[in-house]
Amino acid sequence: MIVNRMEKIDELIRSRISLEIRELFPDRFISVSQVNVSKDLSYAKVWVSSIEDIDETVKLCRERRNELRKDLANNVEIRKVPKLHFVADKTAIEADKIDKLIEQTKD
């Protein structure tokens, strides 16, 4: 039961942060791929990806994390709004590297 509740909270926060990031950075394509909120709701790890420079994207999100947290407080009914920690989701980059290596072995 508690796992379902935490998954719902993760998805609720991911959805709201995604929406707000689109508004804060309309000229950039940023995707929030995953959010994991701690059980005590004090901390949320937010994975972001982008077709642009991923390190710059994470830096921009970190700079605006207080605004994003304030938006969560105003728009999500949750007893405690977690502190946000943004990290780069490099899954697509790593997958591309693997695809290139596979292609090289075919030649």
- With CA atoms as reference, report the closest residue to 6 among 47, 45, 33: 45
Domains along the sequence of the chain with CATH: 2-106 (3.30.300.20)
CA distance 97 to 99: 5
**Cα dist from 3 to 15, 35, 36, whole Å:** 18, 14, 12
Q: Are strands 30-37 and 83-88 parallel, antiparallel or unpaired?
A: unpaired
pTM of the model: 0.82
pLDDT tens-digit profile of 35-92? 999 999 999 999 999 988 889 999 999 999 999 999 999 999 888 999 999 999 877 7
